[in-house]
């Protein structure tokens, strides 16, 4: 299957082909047609499966198809970390190379000056971490009332990192009528229940939710426990711990309620 078979427009196909994409991944050919049809999506796919392109390419096509004269932000993508925010903005820049659309990432930990200057220009796609977005919205620098498409990416990590209350505050700023895309590497019951409260008749797309081998760095105790027990799978987890991480290992033992045998 080619990207043309997914009914993507030539400017997008040309851009991704030049970027070295040869054919759609499983999450891409499973999700893109539903997104182009305006459906809400619950997508479960791990990192490295082409998840960002799976929502970025159809979003760009939908924005190009209905491009009015406007100055409002039309698509909001929420992510848990600065690194992921920057990465998604860069990917949108690659895919929109031949389209008259713009993207911007905002995140904490840096001065907001350059971000505010960029927000004064036209922004079609805003990629943001919840904290910085709420700060700028509270200062009336950002208007989310015209959002057409909302994406929650790495939703399980947002839960792990304690962002769900911030996400709920942001949802109240958005119009009720919108397309919502919900992507996560895992889909525990707490995340599934939350997703179903904000989606309308969602299409579920699941790609290899459990892998036989998974590398997890135990530097965040809750994240470690969540990832090791992904999707209720049974098996043996082998963890490598540096001598400098002994305090983290102790915290993991306390959180899980037992001491893991060490070799």
Is the Cβ–Cβ distance between 255 and 193 less than 8 Å?
no
Instruction: Give the pLDDT of residue 243.
Output: 73
How far apart, in whole angstroms, are the C-alpha atoms of residue 228 and residue 205?
22
pLDDT-derived band at 213 (thresholds 50, 70, 90) equals: very low
Tell whether the model's pLDDT for residue 132 goes beyond 50. Answer: yes
Give the start-to-end residue ranges of the domains of the chain.
4-209, 210-263
Q: Is the pLDDT of residue 230 over 60?
A: no
Sign of the four-CA dihedral 7, 12, 18, 21: negative
* φ, ψ at 136 (rounded to 5°): -70, -35
Per-residue pLDDT tens digits for 33-75: 999 999 999 999 888 889 999 999 999 999 998 766 667 899 9
User: According to the model, what pLDDT value does residue 19 have?
Assistant: 94
Instruction: Give the range among 27-36, 111-120, 250-259 with minimum mean pLDDT.
Output: 250-259
**Residue in 44, 125, 18, 134 with CA at minimum distance from that of residue 77:** 125
pLDDT category, 1, cuts 50, 70, 90? confident
Of residues 218 and 144, the one with the higher pLDDT is 144
The whole-angstrom separation of Cα 201 and Cα 14 is: 33
Residues whose CB falls within 8 Å of the CB of residue 78, separated by 6 or more in sequence, listed in order: 128, 129, 130, 133, 150, 151, 152, 153, 158, 167, 170
pLDDT score, position 160: 86
pLDDT given at position 217: 46
Q: Are 77 and 158 in contact (CB under 8 A)?
A: no
Mean pLDDT score across all residues of the chain: 86
Label each residue of 200-228 as H, E or C. CCCEEEEECCCCCCCCCCCCCHHHHHHHH
Higher pLDDT, 91 or 222: 91
Q: How many residues does the chain have?
A: 263
8 pLDDT exceeds 70?
A: yes
Q: Which tens digits make up the pLDDT trace of 86-100?
A: 999 999 999 999 999
pLDDT, average across residues 3-22? 94
CB burial string 32-58: b at 16+ within 10 A, e below: bbbbbeebbbbbbbbeebbbbbbbbbb
For residue 117, count other CB atoms closer than 10 A to its CB: 9
Q: With 70 as the cut, is the pLDDT of residue 176 above it?
A: yes
In CATH terms, 4-209 corresponds, of 3.40.1280.10, 3.40.50.300, 2.40.100.20, 3.40.50.720, to 3.40.50.300
Which whole number is the average pLDDT over 199-204? 89
């Amino acid at each position: 299957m080619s990207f043309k078979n997914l009914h993507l427009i030539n400017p997008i196909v040309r851009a991704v082909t030049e970027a070295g994409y040869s054919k759609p991944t499983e999450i891409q050919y499973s999700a893109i047609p539903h997104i182009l049809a305006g459906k809400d999506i619950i997508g479960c796919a791990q990192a490295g499966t082409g998840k960002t392109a799976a929502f970025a390419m159809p979003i760009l096509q939908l924005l190009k198809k209905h491009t009015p004269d406007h100055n409002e932000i039309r698509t909001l993508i929420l992510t848990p970390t600065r690194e992921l925010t920057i990465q998604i903005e860069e990917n949108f820049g690659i895919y929109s190379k031949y389209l008259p659309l713009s993207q911007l990432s905002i995140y904490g930990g840096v001065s907001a000056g350059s971000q505010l200057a960029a927000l004064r220009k036209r922004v079609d796609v805003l990629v943001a971490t919840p904290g910085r977005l709420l700060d700028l919205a509270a200062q009336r620098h950002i208007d989310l009332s015209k959002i057409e498409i909302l994406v929650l990416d790495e939703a399980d990590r947002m839960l792990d990192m304690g962002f769900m209350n911030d996400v709920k505050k942001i949802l109240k700023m958005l119009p009720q009528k919108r397309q919502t895309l919900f992507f996560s590497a895992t889909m525990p019951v707490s995340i599934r229940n939350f997703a179903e409260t904000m989606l309308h008749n969602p299409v579920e797309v699941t790609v290899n939710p459990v892998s036989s081998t998974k590398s997890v760095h135990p530097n965040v105790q809750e994240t470690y426990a969540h990832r090791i027990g992904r999707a209720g799978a049974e098996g043996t987890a082998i963890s490598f711990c540096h001598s400098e991480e002994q305090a983290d290992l102790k915290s993991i033992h306390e959180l899980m309620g037992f001491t893991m045998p060490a070799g």
